[in-house]
Amino acid sequence: METGFGQHDEYVAVVALVENTSEKVGQTVTVQFNVSDAAGTLLKSQSQVESFTRPGAETGRDHAGGP
């Protein structure tokens, strides 16, 4: 799994890339992003469920947020 983020003005986008490492078709994954400030205070939390169609498949999920 890889994650990353970017910012443009007051908008922030976060991305996760995950892979189905099982031998099974039709697996699902829940990705949850937690965004905190420098003090560790939780600013935003968002989750998304994605499904895979085959073993070895990759899927990316992103979420953009603003003010």
Q: Which pair of tokens denotes residue 17?
A: 């890339």
CB proximity list for 13: less than 8 A, separation 6 or greater: 5, 6, 7, 62, 63, 64, 65
pLDDT score of 62 = 46
What's the pTM value of the predicted model, to 2 decimals?
0.58
pLDDT score of 19 = 82
As beta bridge partners, residue 11 has 8
pLDDT score of 63 = 47
pLDDT tens readout for residues 9-60: 988 888 888 888 888 888 888 889 888 999 999 998 989 888 877 777 776 6
pLDDT score of 2 = 77
Instruction: Give the CA dihedral 52, 64, 17, 40, nearest 10 degrees.
Output: -120
pLDDT score of 60 = 63
